[in-house]
Chains A and B, each alone.
Chain A
Amino acid sequence: MTQTVSRPGAGAQQVPLPLDVGAIRADFPILTRTVRDGKRLVYLDSGATSQKPRSVLDAERWFYENINAAPHRGAHQLAEEATGAYEEARAKIGAFIGAPEREIVFTRNTTEAINLVAYALSNAVTAKEPEFRTYAVGQGDEIVVTEMEHHADLIPWQQLCERTGATLRWLGLTDDGRLDLSNLAEVINERTKLVAVTQQSNILGTINPIGEIVARAREVGALVLVDGAQSVPHQPVDVTELGADLLVFSGHKMLGPTGVGVLWGRYEVLDKLPPFLTGGSMIEVVRMEGSTFMPPPQRFEAGVPMTAQVVGLGAAVDYLQALGMAKVEEHEKALTGYALAKLAEIPGVTVIGPADTVARGGAVSFTVEDIHPHDVGQVLDDLGIAVRVGHHCAWPVVRRYGVPATTRATFYVHTGYDDIDALADGIREAQRFFGVAPSGDSEGATS
Chain B
Amino acid sequence: MQLESMYQEIILDHYKNPHGRGLRDPFDAEVHHVNPTCGDEVTLRVKLDGDTVADVSYEGMGCSISQASVSAMYDLVVGKRVTEALETGEHFMTLMQAKGDPSVAEKLEDELEDAVAFAGVSKYPARIKCALMSWMALKDASARAMSTTAAPATPTGGHS
A residues contacting B by CB (< 8 A) are 36-37, 372-375, 378-379, 382, 389-391, 395, 398, 404-405, 433-434
A389 proximity list for chain B (CB < 8 A): 38
Q: How many residue pairs between the two chains, A and B, have CB atoms under 8 Å in the bound complex?
A: 48
A391-B39, A404-B40 as given contacts; A378 in contact with B6, CB under 8 Å: yes
- The answer to whether B39 touches A375, judged by C-beta atoms less than 8 angstroms apart, is no
Q: Does B160 contact A (CB under 8 A)?
A: no
Contact of A404 among B62, B127, B130 (CB under 8 A): B62
A405 proximity list for chain B (CB < 8 A): 38-40
Interface string of B25-52 (1 = CB under 8 A from A): 0000000000001111100000000000
- The answer to whether B63 touches A374, judged by C-beta atoms less than 8 angstroms apart, is yes
Pick 26 A–B contacts, CB within 8 A, sort by A.
Answer: A36-B2, A372-B64, A373-B38, A373-B63, A374-B38, A374-B40, A374-B64, A374-B65, A375-B7, A378-B3, A378-B6, A378-B7, A378-B124, A379-B3, A382-B1, A382-B3, A390-B37, A391-B39, A398-B39, A404-B39, A404-B40, A404-B41, A404-B61, A404-B62, A433-B3, A434-B12
Q: Could you tell me how many residues of chain B have their Cβ less than 8 Å away from some Cβ of chain A?
A: 19
B residues contacting A by CB (< 8 A) are 1-3, 6-7, 12, 37-41, 61-65, 124, 127, 130
B127 proximity list for chain A (CB < 8 A): 374, 378
- The answer to whether A433 touches B7, judged by C-beta atoms less than 8 angstroms apart, is yes
* Other A-B pairs beyond A375-B63, A378-B3, A382-B1, 13, CB < 8 Å: A372-B62, A373-B63, A374-B38, A374-B65, A374-B130, A379-B3, A389-B38, A390-B37, A390-B39, A395-B39, A404-B61, A405-B38, A434-B12
A378 proximity list for chain B (CB < 8 A): 3, 6-7, 124, 127
User: In whole angstroms, how far apart are the Cα atoms of A404 and B41 in the complex?
Assistant: 9
* Shortest Cβ-Cβ A-B pairs, 4 listed: A374-B63, A372-B63, A390-B38, A391-B39
Q: Which chain B residue shows the least CB distance to A390? A: B38
User: In whole angstroms, how far apart are the Cα atoms of A391 and B41 in the complex?
Assistant: 13
Nearest Cβ distance between residue A87 and chain B, in whole angstroms? 39
B124 proximity list for chain A (CB < 8 A): 378
B6 proximity list for chain A (CB < 8 A): 378
User: In whole angstroms, how far apart are the Cα atoms of A150 and B53 in the complex?
Assistant: 42
B1 proximity list for chain A (CB < 8 A): 382
Nearest Cβ distance between residue B150 and chain A, in whole angstroms? 36
B7 proximity list for chain A (CB < 8 A): 375, 378, 433
User: In whole angstroms, how far apart are the Cα atoms of A379 and B12 in the complex?
Assistant: 14
Q: Which chain B residue shows the least CB distance to A383? A: B1
Q: Which chain B residue shows the least CB distance to A433? A: B3
- The answer to whether A391 touches B38, judged by C-beta atoms less than 8 angstroms apart, is yes
B38 proximity list for chain A (CB < 8 A): 373-374, 389-391, 405
Nearest Cβ distance between residue A264 and chain B, in whole angstroms? 30
Q: Which chain B residue shows the least CB distance to A372? A: B63
User: In whole angstroms, how far apart are the Cα atoms of A389 and B37 in the complex?
Assistant: 9
Nearest Cβ distance between residue A40 and chain B, in whole angstroms? 15
